[in-house]
Structures are given as C-alpha cells and as structure tokens.
Amino acid sequence: MSEIRRIKPDEWAAAKRVVYRVAHAIFNDSRPLEESIAYHESRNELKDMNDIQKNYFENGGIFLVMAENDEVICTGAIRQLEDGICELKRLWLLTEYHGQGLGYRMLQACLSFAREKGYKRIRLETDPVAQNRAVEFYKKLGFYEIPSYTGRGDEVSLEMML
C-alpha cells in the first residue's frame, strides 16, 4: 500500500524526476527522457522545487509525496497565494499508476491540509490541452474556471471553495 507523507530533503530530486517523467509523457516530448530533463533543468523550470522548505513549508504550505516500496510515485503541494487563498502545485502521478485512485488520494490529502490551515479557497493552473484529463478531474471534484491569476494566458486557472 502506498503512503502519503511529507517530503524529506533527500527526496527533492526524486520528486522533481516524477514531475519530469510525467510531463515527458503527457506533453509527448520527442527527446529521450534524460535529454529532456537536462533541457528543462537548464531553464530552471521547477525552481520552486529547488528549495521546498522555503517555497512550501515556510510559505503556509506543505509538500507531500506518495511512496511505494520507498520510490516516490506521486507529488502534491500547497502554498499560500494570499490571505485565505492557497495554490495547489505539483500534483503529478507517474503514468503507470493512473486510474487507481492514487491521484484522488493525494488531492484529498492536499485539500485536508488546506482546510486545516484555514484557507477559504484553493487555486491551480494547468495546461488545458495536454492536461485535459487533469482539468476534467479537477472540475469533477468541484473546481471551476476563473480568470488567470498569474497572467499566463496559455494555462487555465481553476478555483474551489474550501
């Protein structure tokens, strides 16, 4: 049985690798995985994950992992956006584990944390095309579309009342 728990500092790289592996698959990256990871690392695209302590734990949030047999297979995080509003970040589940309810479990753990911290609303942004399954998943659970809160026009912004 997989367990959900706080990330440990020695797992930051493994958590990043989960994000890169899933993104490589869902965005149909034609490069070999290692080449793709090197490219995205050079662009510092996951810079928030370089210091999880500062960007999540010290920012009104948490960073969780789901592990199976000591391997990180899923990530999920919350961080504060403003008073009463948090952001769901880095909810990524290795594709070979899709369809088993594990992403739902991680989302519920993140939502529970947000409620316990007293947040009133939770937001997220995602790619509406490559991550259309994720968008439908979030909407099914009560998220609704809102105007962009980051100014990234290629993303869809979603929110849910807690």
Range 3-122 has CATH code 3.40.630.30: yes
pLDDT digits (tens, 9 = 90+) for 54-76: 999 999 999 999 999 889 999 99
Q: What is the dihedral of CA 124, 40, 68, 109, to 10 degrees?
A: -10
Q: For residue 40, what are the contacts with CB-CB under 8 A and spacing of at least 6?
A: 20, 23, 46
Bridge-based pairing state of the strands 144-146 and 121-126: unpaired
pLDDT at 22: 96
pLDDT digits (tens, 9 = 90+) for 93-136: 999 999 999 999 999 999 999 999 999 999 999 999 999 999 99
pLDDT digits (tens, 9 = 90+) for 1-55: 789 999 999 999 999 999 999 999 999 999 999 999 999 999 999 999 999 999 9
pLDDT at 100: 95
